[in-house]
Amino acid sequence: MLPPFPADEPSRAFRFAEAGLDRCAEWREDETAIARAAMDPAARTLLFCRDRPLLPRRSEPAASVLFTGAEAMALGAMAERSVFLGCDGGAPRFATTTRLTQEEVAEHPEVESVDLRALAVAGSLPPIEYAAVAEARALLAWHASHRFCARCGQPSVKASAGWKRHCPACGAEHFPRTDPVVIMSVEYGDRCLLGRSPRFAEGMVSCLAGFMEPGETIEAAVRRETLEEAGIRVGRVAYFASEPWPFPMSLMIGVRAEALDDDVRIDPAELEYARWFDREEVAHLLGGDHPRGLFAPPPIAIAHHLLRAFVETPEAG
């Protein structure tokens, strides 16, 4: 049984990190334990059609992404791709993909596929199901993109209940990846640096962010990305919180960073624009009443909470 999260842990505010399964890692190498878990009447499966989770169409009002074993098999669950996620209060949880095409799912009377971002914004699932969805999305995406051995190029096979791939040809073992991303509230006195990527929805501005590179500390990645994207030098960096971001397998590492100058010089290949916003203006971004129609990311994103911390807590700590 996992210990409870501390009540004041910032990550508890994030949709995909609010709760978590007991991953029961000690079962992964025990095929008998996994088989027993699969036969447990309380076991449930999460189903995906490509990158979209499936929801059963049921009469009860509460939404859920959980299917019984019989329901999953009837919907084309691919047992050979099944991964073991862990347990929720002792009830085993698995995930796999369906053989149904997107067109078949769209016409199916008992199931529907949903956009994961829209599902996260809706907040209609129990918190622990969001955690399971994030875990499942990352694992299934990794298996789909790593079917061949990186050492010898031969086909690899699933192992350790889905937590490893093994190459029968050369014996190499490969493990699931997580892509670390730094995301920063860059602050200069009572102002915060925000930018706009061409990929954003019209009107949205957010914190700067970028993937960490091999051999970097979190602090070094923050300083490099801020300098590259906006020409701003960064000094002190203070950790804020982290968030699993299953699009498909990132970990967002949120920090508050102290700018050493305020002369913004953007890289147009990265940003449409970036500028300084004072606390009052950021509060309007969060409240959805900015006079120019600008807005911040929704509460499912760590950027929203970084900006709220900037508004409510002047010192980064």
182-213 pLDDT, tens digit per residue, is 999 999 999 999 999 999 999 999 999 999 99
The average pLDDT across 75-87 equals 97
C-alpha span between 130 and 125 (Å, rounded): 7
What's residue 170's pLDDT?
A: 98
Predicted confidence (pLDDT) at residue 59 exceeds the cutoff of 80: no
C-alpha span between 119 and 125 (Å, rounded): 8
Phi and psi torsions of 189, nearest 5°: 65, -125
Residue with tokens 């200069």: 188
Phi and psi based region of residue 299 (left: phi greater than 0; alpha: psi -120 to 50; beta: remaining): alpha
* Percent of the chain scoring above 90 in pLDDT: 90
The lowest-confidence range among 55-59, 85-89, 250-254, 303-307 is 55-59
Phi and psi torsions of 51, nearest 5°: -100, 10
Q: Which CATH superfamily is domain 179-312 in?
A: Nucleoside Triphosphate Pyrophosphohydrolase (3.90.79.10)
C-alpha span between 97 and 47 (Å, rounded): 5
Say what the pTM is.
Answer: 0.93
Note the CATH architecture for domain 10-143: Alpha-Beta Complex (3.90)
Neighbours of 241 (CB within 10 A): 19
Neighbours of 169 (CB within 10 A): 13
What's residue 285's pLDDT?
A: 98
CB within 8 A of 307, min separation 6: which ones?
Answer: 185, 192, 194, 207, 282, 285, 286, 296
Rounded to the nearest integer, the mean pLDDT of the chain is 94
Output the CA–CA distances (angstroms, integers) from residue 142 to 51, 155, 247, 249, 265, in the order listed. 11, 14, 11, 8, 37
154-173 pLDDT, tens digit per residue, is 999 999 999 999 999 999 99
What's residue 60's pLDDT?
A: 62
